[in-house]
Structure formats: structure tokens, C-alpha cells
């Protein structure tokens, strides 16, 4: 498969006696939104952490844009095109929104991160390209109106969009979104689904973990379902919604 951003083969992760992921395999293509769903404790966060390099997988293979990334640091994986957000916002409250996003983009530059944030870059052309990219991301994530506000003064919902914006600034080939809708109200979730679709439309792959099923069913092209660390189903939202094993393990009859 040459047209694959991320390919996961027989991934396993154990914590002592707990097998958190068992023989998990799936692939994500450019411009595709893949949902990873399942009950609490089914292995979703463990999967994202293993992909991002927070800890090594126990066995199996992770291919990012055709390169095996086992053993690589988190930072190396970001530089190779894998970015992520976290369930909790990690921010610099004294930075402006624009500065924090710019900092997220400096992983692709050769100059010092803070040199770019404070306009001290010696590499003027790449610095200028980054500033253009940051403006595009501010527009895409709806953060342009608060671009010059300090991060500590924006709403918690805007901080969640800022996490996505900061990850996007690294120009990822794939972005991993860990429960992006947590704490958002209805109109903010609508903005989130529009943002996810806009990211996909730029050709960036998206892997999204989420408990909010209406959002998952709306934005995902395909869904992988985990239960007790194993994949129990994979398919389109319509297929997953009607899958008896998924209904029994997770969805119930209401979706």
C-alpha cells in the first residue's frame, strides 16, 4: 500500500499482566478520517500513546509514511509527520494564541523556536512561510478573532481548538485527536466537526478517539472499534452502527 500515511500491524502493548492492546492492525490514508472507538479501558489511549511514541509497543509494527517508527522518540515522529492533541489542554498561558501556534510550527524549521515566535529568525523565507501557515490555521480553526489574546484569557473550548491548531502548525501528514469534543457544547461540536472536515480536505489524515457518537458518525470515513484491547469491527459509520457485536459491546440500541 503506497498511499498509506499510517499502517499499524499486529500492535500489542502490555502493562505488566494487563494486555491493553492485542494484535491491532489498521491503516489510514491521506485525507481520510478514521475513528477509534470503544468502551472505557478498551485500549484507545494506549493505541494513541504507542503511535505517538510515549512508550514503546510490546510488539508489532508502526509504519509512518512508509518508514518504521519503532524506537523513534516522540519528537522524531512529529518531525516525520505525526502530530497529536491531548485530552487536557497543555498551553503557555502567557503566550498569545498566535505565538503558541507559531511555536507548534517550529518543529519544521531550522532556527530556534523562540527566535521565530519573537520575529528574530535569520531564515527569513521559512519564517515567513510559517507565519502565513499560522494565519491559515487561525482561520481554519476559528481562532483568528482571538489571535492576539493571551492563551490564559481564551475560553476552554477555544483552548481545545488551540491544541488542534498547534498540532496542525507542525504540518503533519496525520493528526491524532484524543477526545477533542470533551467539554464542548453543541455549537462548539459543530465547529469541531467542520474543522475536522477542513483538515481532511487539505489532505491531512485524521485519527480521532471520541466518545461522542454523533460526532464520530458524522466526521469519520471509517471506524475501528476496540473491546478489551482487540479490534472487534472496522467499517463505515453505517456498517458500524448496524454491527451486532459493536451494539452489544459499546453502542447499545440508541445510536
Ligand X SMILES: Nc1ncnc2c1ncn2[C@@H]1O[C@H](COP(=O)(O)OP(=O)(O)OP(=O)(O)O)[C@@H](O)[C@H]1O
CB-based contact 213:255 (threshold 8 Å): yes
Min. distance of Cβ 53 from ligand X in angstroms?
Answer: 15
Q: Does 38 bind ligand X (CB under 6 A)?
A: yes
Nearer to ligand X, 46 or 96 (CB): 46
Q: Does 41 bind ligand X (CB under 6 A)?
A: yes
Min. distance of Cβ 47 from ligand X in angstroms?
Answer: 7
Nearer to ligand X, 115 or 255 (CB): 255
Q: Does 40 bind ligand X (CB under 6 A)?
A: yes
Task: Tell me the DSSP string of 156-190.
Answer: HHHHHHHHHHHHHTT--SEEEEESTTTT--HHHHH
Closest CA to 148 of 180, 100, 82: 100
Contact map string, positions 42 to 81, toward ligand X, x by CB under 6 A:
xxxxx-----------------------------------
Nearer to ligand X, 42 or 166 (CB): 42
Min. distance of Cβ 228 from ligand X in angstroms?
Answer: 8
Q: What is the C-alpha end-to-end distance of the chain, expressed in Å?
A: 33
Q: Does 183 bind ligand X (CB under 6 A)?
A: no
Cα-based distances in Å from 108 to 20, 139, 169: 33, 21, 9
Q: Does 18 bind ligand X (CB under 6 A)?
A: yes
Closest CA to 102 of 154, 160, 147, 145: 147
Q: How many other CB atoms are found less than 10 A from the CB of residue 119?
A: 9
Amino acid at each position: 500500500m503506497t498511499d498509506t500515511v499510517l499502517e499499524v500491524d499486529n500492535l500489542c502493548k502490555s502493562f505488566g499482566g494487563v494486555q491493553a492492546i492485542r494484535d491491532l492492525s489498521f491503516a489510514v490514508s491521506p485525507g481520510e478520517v478514521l475513528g477509534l472507538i470503544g468502551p472505557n479501558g478498551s485500549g484507545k489511549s494506549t493505541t494513541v500513546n504507542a503511535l505517538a511514541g510515549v512508550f514503546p509497543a510490546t510488539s508489532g509494527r508502526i509504519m509512518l509514511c512508509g518508514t518504521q517508527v519503532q524506537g523513534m522518540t516522540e519528537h522524531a515522529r512529529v518531525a516525520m509527520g505525526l502530530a497529536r492533541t491531548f485530552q487536557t489542554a497543555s498551553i503557555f498561558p502567557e503566550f498569545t494564541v498566535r505565538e503558541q501556534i507559531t511555536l507548534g510550527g517550529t518543529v519544521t524549521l531550522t532556527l530556534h523556536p523562540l527566535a521565530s515566535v519573537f520575529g528574530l529568525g535569520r531564515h527569513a523565507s521559512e519564517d515567513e512561510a510559517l507565519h502565513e501557515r499560522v494565519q491559515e490555521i487561525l482561520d481554519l480553526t476559528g481562532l483568528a478573532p482571538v489571535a492576539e489574546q493571551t492563551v490564559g484569557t481564551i475560553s476552554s473550548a477555544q483552548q481545545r481548538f488551540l491544541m488542534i491548531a498547534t498540532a496542525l502548525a507542525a504540518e503533519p501528514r496525520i493528526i491524532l485527536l484524543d477526545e477533542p469534543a470533551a467539554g464542548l457544547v453543541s455549537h462548539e461540536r459543530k465547529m469541531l466537526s467542520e474543522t475536522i472536515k477542513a483538515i481532511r480536505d487539505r489532505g491531512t489524515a485524521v485519527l480521532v478517539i471520541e466518545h461522542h457518537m454523533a460526532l464520530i458518525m458524522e466526521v469519520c470515513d471509517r471506524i475501528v472499534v476496540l473491546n478489551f484491547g482487540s479490534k472487534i469491527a472496522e467499517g463505515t459509520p453505517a456498517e458500524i452502527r448496524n454491527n451486532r457485536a459493536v451494539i452489544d459491546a459499546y453502542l447499545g440500541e440508541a445510536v
